[in-house]
Structure 1
Amino acid sequence: MARTGLYKSDVKKARDTLVALGRHPSVDAVRVELGNTGSKSTIHKYLKELEEEEGSAQQPRSISAALQEMVERLASHLQAEADERVNAARDEVRAVSARMEQALAAANAANADLSSRLEMAGKALIAARAAHESSREECQQQAVALRALEVRTTGLQERLQENELHRISLEDKHQHARAALDHYRSAAKEQREQDHRQHEQQCQALQAELRQLRQEAIVRQGEISRINQEGVRLVAELSHARQALVEQQALADRREQQMEALRQVAATQQLLEARLTEKSDALLQSDTRLAQAEQALATARQQWQQSELELAAVRARLETHELILRELRHPAEEKNAQLESSPPEGDGS
Structure 2
Amino acid sequence: MARAGVTYHDIVKAAEAISTHGQEPTVDRVREHLGTGSKSTIAPLLKRWRLDNGAAADVSGLPNDLVEVVKSLYERVQQMGDHRIEQARDEFKVSNDELRKELTEAHNTIAQLTARQQDLNNQLSRVIEKKSQQDKSLEDARVGLAKAESQRDEALARTTELKESVAELKQENRDIRDHFEHYQQRTAEDRQQEREQFRIVNQGLNDQIQDLQHRLAQTESRASELFDINAQLQRNADELKRANAALNSDLNAKMEDIQNLEHEYEEAVTRCREYQHKNEQLSENMAALTTQKADVDKQVAVLSHALETTKAELKTAQDKVAFLTDENKVILQEKAVIQGQFKQLQSSL
TM-score bucket of the superposed structures, by smaller chain: 0.3 to 0.5
TM-score for both structures, normalised by structure 1: 0.48
| More contact order relative to length (CA 8 Å, sep ≥ 6) | 1
